[in-house]
Amino acid sequence: SIYINRKYPISLRNRDIRTINGVIHQMERVIAPREVSLATILKEQLEGYESGYVVTARIIQACGLLDTLSKIRDEVYEQLYLTGMIEEKTPANGLATMDGGYSYAPEHRKYGFTIFAESDEFWQEAIGKPAEDITPEDVQAWVNSQGFYPEATTGTDFRNPSNLLYQYITYHILPFKLAPDRLVFHYNEKGYDYVGSPGRLSIPVMEYYVTMGKRRLLKIYESPESDGVYLNRFPITDNSRHGTGHEIGCDQDKVGARVMREDEDLDKRTALNGYLYEISTPIAYDEATRNNLARTRIRMDCMSFFPEVMNNDIRRVPLTDAPHQWVHFPDDAEYKYIGNLSINEGSTFVYYNAYNYKFGSLCGDEVKCVGRWELVFTLPPVPKQGTYEVRYRILTNSNRGVAQFFFGDRIDAMPAAGIPVNLTLGGVDPITGWMEDTGTDDDADAEADKQMRNCGFMKGEESILILKNPGTTARANVNRNIVRRIITRQTLDPDKTYYLKMKSVLDTETAEFYMDHIEYCPKEIYDNPEQPEDIW
C-alpha cells in the first residue's frame, strides 16, 4: 500500500478518483498532524510515553535547552504583521527581473531546530547501563574519555556554555528546521537532471550550517556513492580538470555519521518546530573534524547563514507564485527579521527563489537589494586558525551596482577590503583576465587561472550547471558573466565572529546588490604548488 507520512495508508480500492480539478484518494485513517514542539517530543521520552532517545532527552534537559526547543514563533512579529505594521507588499523598483514588480514579506517568523541524536541502543553499549539508568554525568564521562573537547570544563553545571556536556550536545543541534528532503539541495549540480530524473544523483552536494551553542560548522553531505545523507563526511573525489567530480573513495575515519532520514518512526519525532533524526555514530567538533574542515574549500550558499529562511519555508520552495518567488525581509528600522543580517533603513532586500528559472547560481536561487543599500552579513566561523581567502561569487549584469566591501571582526570598525567593486564586470571585461579553457593544454589553462587570480578574480565552478544552456557549467559559460571575486586574504580565528559589509557607492536607488555564495579557501588549498586548487 501507499502511506502518507509512513503512517496513514491510502485505500487500495478508492484512490486515483479523478475530478475536474484534481484527484481524490480515500484514507484508511485520519491524518492527525501533531501540533507539538520538539520539547514536547523530548518530554514524552523522559516520561516514558515514547522510547529510543531518552538519554538524549535527559542530556538536553540537564543542559537547560528544553525551553529553547519549545519556541514555535515570534509573537511580536506576528502581531506587527497582522496589524499592518510590516509592509506586506513592496514595489522593489530596480529589480528588473521581478515578475509583477512586487516582493512580499513573510507572514510569520517561526523558530526551527534539527536534532541529530545517538540512539539509546548506542548509549547502552557505550556506557554499559540500561538507558533508563544512564545519567548526564555518565555521558559526560564517556565524552571526556574520547578527548572530544579538552578545553571544556567537566563540572556538573551543565547549563554553562563552557561545560563539556553542553558543548557536546549543542553540536548536535541546529537552529534550522531541516525536513528529510531539505537536508541538502539537489538542483543544478553537474550531471543532475532535476526535471527528468530527480531521484538519480550525480556529483556530491553539501551544506555547511552553524550549530547552536558555541558557533561551529557542521557539514551535511550526500552523493550517489555515499548512498545516504551524512554528517562530516570527507571523501576523496575525482576532481581533476578532466575528472568526473564523483566520490571515488573515503577513508574509514572520514566516513562520518549517517542521518537515518528513512526511519519509519520519524513522524513520531517530527514537530511543528523541527525534527529529531537518529545518527549512526557520534559526532563531535574534535581535532580531527576541524582538521578535515580546515583542509576543505568551504562553499556556503548565503541563505544557509539564515535560520529564518529554512524555518519559514522560504528557501528553495517548489512554488512559482509571486509571494514564494520574491520574498523581502523588513529592514532593521521596521523589524530585524534576519538575525545574521543587518539591512539599513530604506533598502529593499529580496530573496529570489527563482524556482524553475534555470539560473546558474548555486541551487538556482539568489538575493538582491535595491536602494542606497548598506548590508552587514554575520559570517560562519572558520574551523581552525589559519590563512584563508574569502571569496564572493556573482552573476554579473548591467543591473548591478558598485559596492565597497568591508571585512573584519568589529562590526563598528570594519576596514575596507580593497577598492570599490563594480558588480557589473564579468569575464567579458579584460580587467578580469578571463580566458576560455583550451580543454587540451592543462598547463596553459592553469596559467590562465593564475593570471586571473592575480587580477583578483576566479572563474565560475565546474560543478554547477547553467540550466538555460544545457551541458554548460559555470566555469565554461559562454556569457562569461559568472565570476568569483577574492575579497580578502588574511589570518582568521575560529573563536572570532567575522562580518562582511557591502555598501553602495552610487548615487542611485535602482542599482542592484547581488549575492549567491561565499567561499572560505585555506592557504593549504589555494597556495599548494604540488596539488593546485581544483576547478570544481
SS3 state at 406 = strand
The confidence score (pLDDT) of residue 33 equals: 52
Q: Which of 293, 350, 359 is nearest to 324 (CA)?
A: 350
Partnered with residue 503 across adjacent β-strands are 374, 404
Beta strand residue intervals within 296-365, DSSP E:
298-301, 326-329, 341-343, 348-352
- Other Cβ atoms less than 10 A from the Cβ of 13: the count is 5
| Cα gap 289→152, rounded to integer Å | 17
Answer whether 434's CB lies under 8 Å from 427's CB.
yes
| Cα gap 389→398, rounded to integer Å | 27
SS3 state at 436 = coil
Residues 197, 198, 199, 201, Cα dihedral to 10° = 90
What residue ranges define each of the domains in the chain, with the CATH number in brackets?
Answer: 37-72+110-296 (2.30.180.10), 80-109+297-526 (2.60.120.260)
Tell me the pairing of strands 274-278 and 113-117: parallel
* pLDDT tens-place string over residues 83-122: 999 999 888 666 766 666 789 999 999 999 999 999 999 9
The confidence score (pLDDT) of residue 7 equals: 63
Amino acid at 48: G
Displacement of CA 262 from its chain's centroid (Å): 21
**Structure letter (DSSP) for residue 408:** E
Partnered with residue 389 across adjacent β-strands are 489, 521
The three cell numbers of residue 500 are 562582511
Helix (H) or strand (E) holding 145: helix 136-145
Distances 430 to 49, 239, 421, 450, 453 between C-alpha atoms, Å: 67, 28, 15, 15, 13
Partnered with residue 3 across adjacent β-strands are 9
Displacement of CA 176 from its chain's centroid (Å): 9
Tell me the pairing of strands 513-515 and 517-522: unpaired
Partnered with residue 341 across adjacent β-strands are 377
Q: Which residues of 496-509 are buried (b: 16+ CB within 10 A; e: fewer)?
A: eebbbbbbbeeeeb
Strand order through the sheet with 341-343: 341-343, 374-378, 499-504, 402-408, 421-422
Answer whether 392's CB lies under 8 Å from 377's CB.
no
For each of the chain's 536 residues, which pLDDT tens digit applies? 687 765 678 887 788 888 765 678 888 776 655 689 999 999 999 999 999 999 999 999 999 999 999 999 999 999 999 999 999 988 866 676 666 678 999 999 999 999 999 999 999 999 999 999 999 999 999 999 999 999 999 999 999 999 999 999 999 999 999 999 999 999 999 999 999 999 999 999 999 999 999 999 999 999 999 999 999 999 999 999 999 999 999 999 999 999 999 999 999 999 999 999 999 999 999 999 999 999 999 999 999 999 999 999 999 998 888 889 999 999 999 999 999 999 999 999 999 998 888 888 999 899 999 999 999 999 999 999 999 999 999 999 888 999 999 999 999 999 999 999 999 988 788 889 999 999 999 999 999 999 999 999 999 999 999 988 888 999 998 788 899 999 999 999 999 999 999 999 999 998 999 999 999 999 999 999 999 999 99
The confidence score (pLDDT) of residue 319 equals: 86
Answer whether 427's CB lies under 8 Å from 449's CB.
no
The confidence score (pLDDT) of residue 169 equals: 99
SS3 state at 218 = strand
